């Protein structure tokens, strides 16, 4: 039995991960701004506060916290919130672990495929590729640098650069699965790197149960999909009308502002490094992933 502390535990991935860890007889505690249960502890990144009792006997930290990239328009204030929620929260954890001299067995952190930038290219990005210089690439690079600082404390560190997470319980898929008809976004030629929540949570668990699973990995399914092929498969699975004409980019720009770039662009991401570790994806292809994730009419 392992004692694990999770940030972002009330989110889509965090809730699923908690359930799976508990089912495997691990002990799970959560950092929250509004703690309610006996295994929830207070923290506030804005005020740099954290309850030291949360760190008693913990062996691993799984760090998922961060303001939603696509929840609001990217005003200057929102951009700063996105950045601070990731970098400051990681620094708060690092400083507290350093102060308490807590000998963690591992620090496991989320990142995102946004590391490679909001672009569409023919390159298939690998973990060794450099970070992009746009806003989202800069956020991910600084986020990862803050996490990698745990290596300086001789704490094994694992970072998962996640794609779009597919789940029957909400997230991006619930927004794609429109009521009547489904169509691509913009040109439809941009790629959508994705991963089923079952595989993503299994990767976080692998980082706890396999002490060789350290470093940085692209947490995406092996299969490549474009916005057009994704929409067509989703329409088929939900028995809805597929309209091959994409939502115009200028309309998305009007609605979402600068943030629309993460909808209208996307490149292929390699999962080879993860597969080389022996990890076996439960959901390698979109057809099977959607079969598990959508409600049919």
Token digits of residue 239: 């028995």
> Strands 60-63 and 106-112: what pairing?
parallel
Token digits of residue 198: 């079952």
The answer for residues whose C-beta is within 8 angstroms of residue 108's C-beta and 6 or more apart is 60, 61, 62, 63, 157, 158, 159, 160, 204, 207, 208
What pLDDT, on the 0 to 100 scale, is given for residue 295? 66
What pLDDT, on the 0 to 100 scale, is given for residue 135? 96
pLDDT tens track, the chain, 297 positions = 899 999 999 899 999 999 999 999 999 999 999 998 889 999 999 999 999 999 999 999 999 999 999 889 999 999 999 999 999 999 999 999 999 999 999 999 999 999 999 999 999 999 999 999 999 999 999 999 999 999 999 999 999 999 999 999 888 888 888 888 899 999 999 999 999 999 999 999 999 999 999 999 999 999 999 999 999 999 999 999 999 998 899 899 988 899 999 999 999 999 999 999 999 999 999 999 999 998 655
What pLDDT, on the 0 to 100 scale, is given for residue 177? 83
Q: Is the distance from CB of 91 to CB of 63 less than 8 angstroms?
A: no
Q: Give the number of C-alpha atoms closer than 13 A to the C-alpha of residue 194, restricted to the C-beta side.
A: 29
What is the domain range of residue 193?
Answer: 3-293
The total of structural domains in the chain comes to 1
Print burial letters for 78-111: b (CB count within 10 Å at least 16), e (below 16): bbebbbebbbebbbbbbebbeeeebebebbbbbb
Which CATH number fits the domain that encloses residue 152? 3.40.50.720
Token digits of residue 40: 């929830």
Q: Is the distance from CB of 158 to CB of 108 less than 8 angstroms?
A: yes
110-130 pLDDT per residue, tens: 999 999 999 999 999 999 999
Structural element, H or E, at residue 28 = strand 27-32
- Model's pTM, two decimal places? 0.95
What pLDDT, on the 0 to 100 scale, is given for residue 175? 84
Of 64, 89, 66, 90, nearest to 79 (Cα)?
A: 66
Q: What is the distance between the alpha carbons of residues 138 and 116, in angstroms, rounded to a whole number?
A: 9
Tell me the three-class secondary structure of 39-84, residue by residue: CEEEEECCCCEECHHHHCCCCEEEECCCCCCCCCCCCHHHHHHHHH
Instruction: Name the 3-class secondary structure at 182.
Output: strand
What pLDDT, on the 0 to 100 scale, is given for residue 67? 92
180-216 pLDDT per residue, tens: 889 999 999 999 999 999 999 999 999 999 999 999 9
Q: How far apart are the first and last CA of the chain?
A: 42
């Amino acid at each position: 039995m392992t004692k694990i502390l999770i940030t972002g535990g009330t989110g889509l991935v965090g809730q699923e991960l908690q359930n799976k860890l508990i089912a495997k007889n691990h002990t799970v505690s959560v950092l929250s701004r509004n703690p309610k249960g006996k295994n929830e502890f207070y923290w506030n990144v804005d005020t740099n506060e954290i309850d030291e009792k949360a760190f008693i006997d913990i062996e691993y930290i799984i760090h998922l916290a961060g303001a939603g990239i696509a929840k609001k328009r990217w005003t200057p204030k929102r951009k700063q919130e996105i950045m601070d929620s990731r970098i400051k929260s990681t620094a708060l954890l690092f400083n507290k672990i350093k102060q308490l001299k807590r000998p963690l067995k591992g620090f496991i952190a989320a990142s995102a495929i946004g590391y490679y930038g909001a672009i569409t290219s023919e390159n298939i990005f690998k973990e060794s590729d450099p970070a992009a210089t746009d806003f989202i690439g800069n956020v991910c690079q600084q986020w990862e640098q803050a996490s990698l600082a745990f290596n300086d404390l001789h704490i094994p560190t694992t970072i998962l650069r996640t794609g779009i997470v597919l789940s029957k319980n909400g997230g991006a898929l619930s927004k794609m699965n429109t009521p009547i008809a489904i169509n691509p976004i913009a040109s439809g030629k941009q790629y959508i790197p994705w991963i089923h929540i079952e595989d993503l949570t299994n990767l976080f668990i692998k980082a706890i149960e396999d002490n060789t699973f350290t470093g940085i990995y692209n947490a995406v399914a092996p299969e490549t999909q474009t916005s057009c092929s994704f929409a067509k498969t989703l329409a088929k699975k939900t028995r809805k009308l597929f309209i091959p004409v994409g939502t115009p980019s200028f309309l998305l720009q009007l609605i979402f502002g600068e943030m629309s770039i993460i909808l209208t662009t996307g490149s292929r991401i390699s999962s080879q490094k993860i597969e080389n570790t022996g990890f076996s994806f439960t959901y390698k292809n979109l057809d099977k992933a959607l079969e598990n994730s959508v409600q049919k009419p």
